[in-house]
């Protein structure tokens, strides 16, 4: 299917604007009239009144200034804990130039894994599964006899040794032509199983991040509960926490329902609308749709023990004793300016998400950035939009 770039008039405006932007190292694409950060949060008075013990409001406002640009078309940021701050900038739609919506829904990508991990740990707390139980026990026949026993805990902390499964495209350029196709969890896992076990590491010996671990966990949740993953997520987490704008796609539905900012990506040198995309190949590893307010609600409830009880909650803050490991059950440990930060990133075409906090919730950040390279490594986006929340 051919790439559908923005209309020629829009791309011409973008191209003409590039010459007027003194950005070092790369050209920038933006409409003739870039939107400003929300005036209430980034006014001179708001910046001057910001607490020295709160987030670095000046740096956060600088991150939002000038959107849209070559790296992002919109950004929504929520900072909480000791000192709260909200900011929004950019456009809802590059064709119309309408301003970005602060309450916009977006593809939350791999932050879905937080929900999946929490569901598994709830089932463990209820005694319906054991974290030391195996895939072979709970999903008999899924793996061949070539595989050593793989425990639920090893799936949770990415040390299962399963190789990547089938995908409709690992990057936006490859996946765009397949964006309306369907790939079931069973097909994803079957492709992984066909590759055999990790030839270099037994289960539990090596941490390798990947969607395959959480695709299997989603299947395990459905098998143990006799219910769909999406419904279990809704009745156990989404509804009890009042996450009213969080949902999961129905089958292969490629749309983001409700108010949302459109997502874009550079494909073959052109800025292309990638909002509509079938997420069936991501399933429990990354198909959630949410808002920054809902994810902030999840973050606070989870860290306070309202979602997963002790001692199972400890699994989410325990990195396995494996060389080079940084990930726990659904979260990842970072160190920033001497602070330990627990969080998770998520990336789908046109949307980059971060959920992060100190363990004591003294500082939290949730953002959705309409990144034009959302499937890149994401570090530059996080450094720009998330790191300032932890500057002080």
Distance in angstroms (rounded) separating the CA atoms of residues 213 and 306: 25
Q: With respect to residue 342, please indicate whether it lies within any of the assigned structural domains.
A: yes
Q: With respect to residue 93, please indicate whether it lies within any of the assigned structural domains.
A: no
pLDDT band at residue 13, thresholds of 50, 70 and 90? very low
CA 387-20-25 angle, to 5 degrees, is: 50
The count of structural domains within the chain is 1
Structure tokens at 226: 């006799």
- Say what the pTM is: 0.91
Q: Are strands 351-358 and 339-348 parallel, antiparallel or unpaired?
A: antiparallel
Residues 197-224 have pLDDT tens digits of 999 999 999 999 999 999 999 999 999 9
> Phi first, then psi: what are they for 356, rounded to 5°?
-155, 150
| Three-state secondary structure call for residue 255 | coil
Q: Looking at the annotation, which residues are catalytic?
A: 110
Q: With respect to residue 209, please indicate whether it lies within any of the assigned structural domains.
A: yes
The pLDDT of residue 330 is above 90: yes
The pLDDT of residue 20 is above 60: no
The domain spanning residue 268 has which CATH number? 3.40.710.10
Of all residues in the chain, what percent carry a pLDDT higher than 90?
Answer: 82
Q: With respect to residue 196, please indicate whether it lies within any of the assigned structural domains.
A: yes
Residues 350-371 have pLDDT tens digits of 999 999 999 999 999 999 999 9
Q: With respect to residue 376, please indicate whether it lies within any of the assigned structural domains.
A: yes
Distance in angstroms (rounded) separating the CA atoms of residues 342 and 350: 24
Distance in angstroms (rounded) separating the CA atoms of residues 188 and 199: 20
Q: With respect to residue 75, please indicate whether it lies within any of the assigned structural domains.
A: no
Q: What is the 3-state secondary structure (H, E, C) of 148-200?
A: CCCEHHHHHCCCCCCCCCCCCCCCHHHHHHHCCCCCCHHHHHHHHHHHCCCCC
Q: With respect to residue 100, please indicate whether it lies within any of the assigned structural domains.
A: no
| Three-state secondary structure call for residue 135 | helix
The DSSP bridge partners found for residue 80 are 364
User: Shortest CA distance to 345 belongs to which of 361, 362, 326, 359?
Assistant: 326
Residue 315 Cα to chain centre, angstroms? 20
Distance in angstroms (rounded) separating the CA atoms of residues 232 and 354: 23
Are 76 and 292 in contact by the 8 Å Cβ rule? The answer is: yes
Domain enclosing residue 226, as ranges? 106-390
Residues 165-195 have pLDDT tens digits of 999 887 899 999 999 999 999 999 999 999 9
Residues 35-76 have pLDDT tens digits of 667 656 898 888 878 888 889 999 999 999 999 999 999 999
Q: With respect to residue 191, please indicate whether it lies within any of the assigned structural domains.
A: yes
Count of helix runs (H) and strand runs (E) in the chain: 13, 10
Structure tokens at 2: 């051919």
């Amino acid at each position: 299917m051919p790439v559908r770039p923005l209309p020629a008039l829009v791309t011409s405006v973008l191209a003409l604007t590039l010459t007027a932007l003194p950005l070092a190292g790369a050209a920038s694409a933006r409409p003739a009239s870039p939107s400003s950060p929300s005036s209430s949060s980034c006014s001179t008075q708001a910046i001057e009144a910001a607490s020295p013990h709160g987030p670095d409001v000046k740096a956060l406002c600088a991150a939002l200034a000038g959107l849209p640009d070559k790296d992002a078309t919109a950004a929504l940021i929520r900072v909480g804990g000791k000192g709260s701050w909200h900011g929004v900038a950019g456009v809802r739609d590059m064709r119309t130039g309408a301003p970005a919506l602060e309450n916009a829904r977006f593809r939350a990508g791999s932050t879905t894994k937080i929900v999946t991990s929490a569901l598994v740990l709830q089932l463990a707390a209820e005694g319906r599964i054991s974290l030391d139980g195996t895939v072979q026990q709970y999903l008999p026949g899924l793996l061949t006899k070539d595989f050593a026993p793989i425990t639920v805990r090893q799936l949770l902390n990415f040390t299962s040794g399963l190789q990547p499964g089938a995908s409709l495209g690992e990057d936006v350029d490859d996946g765009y032509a397949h964006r309306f196709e369907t790939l079931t969890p069973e097909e994803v896992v079957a492709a992984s199983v066909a590759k055999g076990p990790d030839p270099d590491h037994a289960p539990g010996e090596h941490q390798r991040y990947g969607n395959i671990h959480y695709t299997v966990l989603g299947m395990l949740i459905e098998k143990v509960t006799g219910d769909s993953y999406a419904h279990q997520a809704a009745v156990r987490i989404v509804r009890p926490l009042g996450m009213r704008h969080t949902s999961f796609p129905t089958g292969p539905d490629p749309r983001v329902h409700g108010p949302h900012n459109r997502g874009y990506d550079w494909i073959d040198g052109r800025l292309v609308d990638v909002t509509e995309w079938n997420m069936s190949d991501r399933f429990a590893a990354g198909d959630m749709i949410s808002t920054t307010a809902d994810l902030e609600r999840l973050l606070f409830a989870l860290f306070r023990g309202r979602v997963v009880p002790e001692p199972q909650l400890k699994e989410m803050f325990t990195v396995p004793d494996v060389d080079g490991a940084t990930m726990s059950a659904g979260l990842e440990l970072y160190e920033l300016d001497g602070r330990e930060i627990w969080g998770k990133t998520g990336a789908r075409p046109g949307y980059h998400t971060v959920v992060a906090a100190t363990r004591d919730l003294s500082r939290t950040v949730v953002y959705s950035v309409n990144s034009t390279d959302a499937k890149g490594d994401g570090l530059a986006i996080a450094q720009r939009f998330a790191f300032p929340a932890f500057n002080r």
